[in-house]
Structure 1
Amino acid sequence: MYDIGIIGGGTAGMTAAIYGQRAGKKTIIIEGGVFGGQITSSPNVENYPGIASVSGSEFSMNLLDQAVKLGAETAMEQVTGIRDEGSVKVIETAGKEYPCRSVILATGVTHRHLGVPNEERLTGAGVSYCATCDGMFFRGRDVAVVGGGSTALQDAEFLSNYCRKVYLIHRRDEFRGEDSIVKRLESKENVEFILSATVRDIIGDQAVERLIVNSKKTGKEFKLDVSGVFIAVGQIPKNEIFADVVKLDADGFILAAEDCITSRPGIFAAGDCRTKEVRQLTTAAADGAVAALAACRYIAG
């Protein structure tokens, strides 16, 4: 029997394990993919307080090492569901069951990809899904943002403060994001809108060098010389298997506020998988701590 079963081995999940172990609880982290999550693909992390620069993989391995040294157990298995038996929550995998007094869902999200040539190969070498994380590496250079929602608009605004030129590429004639941000971007001399257009290819040998863009109006293709492309076309939570256990919003994120408490007693949500405004390493770590301490209070009575 575990005190805290943690589903997901990203920053939130591993932080939860650290706090749980330090509180004297028996914890296990169950991860179906790679410990560390998406941050492991980042060559440099420079926005985590107290750490000037570290690779994403090193950051993740340090977290995992800290959790394991404190006594946290790990399992590399794909979770298939949770069975609520009142005071006991049973985490189910393909080949095993893990009875727990409480559960923390820290499943994270996956970024929706464009699915164009070289996107995967150049991820971390000019292709990014987080402007806040990687934007500073492109100071004084030309970049592109792909997307039309508020996240894409916010990314373009953030990058315009550091980059020489920011192209904002959207497949429709109008943006779906906040009109106030659109107006601010329109006033910036180094921001150019490219509407009714899609990225067809990302070109570069060792790093991004240019984009091949297709105009939906003319059907013609043209090149954009850029050093980076920031893709902001949506995030996909992986919470479908928990829909009968906790409440999700319309986009599939777990309904939980800053206290990380879900609709189901004894089950908590931490990190990018829950409803929240800011999804960063710092907020994931904060959620992990909050969720673990909330689980400890739940166990205590």
Structure 2
Amino acid sequence: MFKSIIDQDSYISLLENRHAEELFELIDNSRDSIGEWLDFPNHTHEINDTRKFIERTLNSFAANNGYWVGIWHKGKLAGSIGYLYFDWQSKKTEIGYWLSKDFGGLGLVTKACSLFMKYAFEELKLNKVEICMATSNIRSRAVPERLGFKEEGTVRCFEFLNGKYLDRVTYGMIGEEWSGNFKDQKIKGELYGIYFENELTGIIGLIHHALETELKHIAVHPNHRNKGLGSKLIEEIQKLTTPAHIIAETDREAVNFYKKNGFIITSLGEKYPGVERFKCIYNFMKA
């Protein structure tokens, strides 16, 4: 697994020596946010430190004993995810991850974890994947919970970091749970309507994927526009949807509607001749 696509803007790939400077700058710029939960920024003082880390993870990769990869978004290094080890006798591993403060809210960690789970269960034929973090790290805990892991237990006072003891919670998933929840999962489409004075006045169409819900269509009858019905549809869908985020694609005319309802807007450029399109993302939790 040298490079895997996360989405149209993002991918994961092995870290190489040429990434040492970019990796150091990323850690240095997010030292406080990463260091709140992880100890390695305290031991990362110069580019040579990240160079040594990359060398160690490449050696681990060669020895088939776990490795770390970079998470890239729009050509920029955004964070890292890794297999901490491979226990080939017990057929299990643990996934770790971290993300720069500048790339939160895009679902990158959740999607990267899903790729790592798929590779662990379907290619490496492992039986169990674990993810562990401080019990108070709510954003990090949201990732395994979102992916269907089961909370297995808590170790009290697991580590001493930033002048205080942190408890550690473990989440786990075994192979048969992955097969049942994800491997054979079918894409599900739904259509909802909204009524005003007993009249159907708006509809919204969705496609549910494992990690996200795609908003394919939303429309309000011309006689009932500017009454907040479109926003009400979005509000109700947010209550019904459990994946990491809702995504939609639209034109310039509808951008302000999505922006008003809390979506993050990204231009896709001139996707069709003379027509600029926009990607809209609503995130339930930043991770």
* TM-score of the pair, normalised by structure 1: 0.24
The one of the two structures with greater contact order (alpha-carbon pairs below 8 A, sep at least 6) is 1
Which has more helix, going by share of residues? 2
* TM-score of the pair, normalised by structure 2: 0.25
Which has more strand, going by share of residues? 2
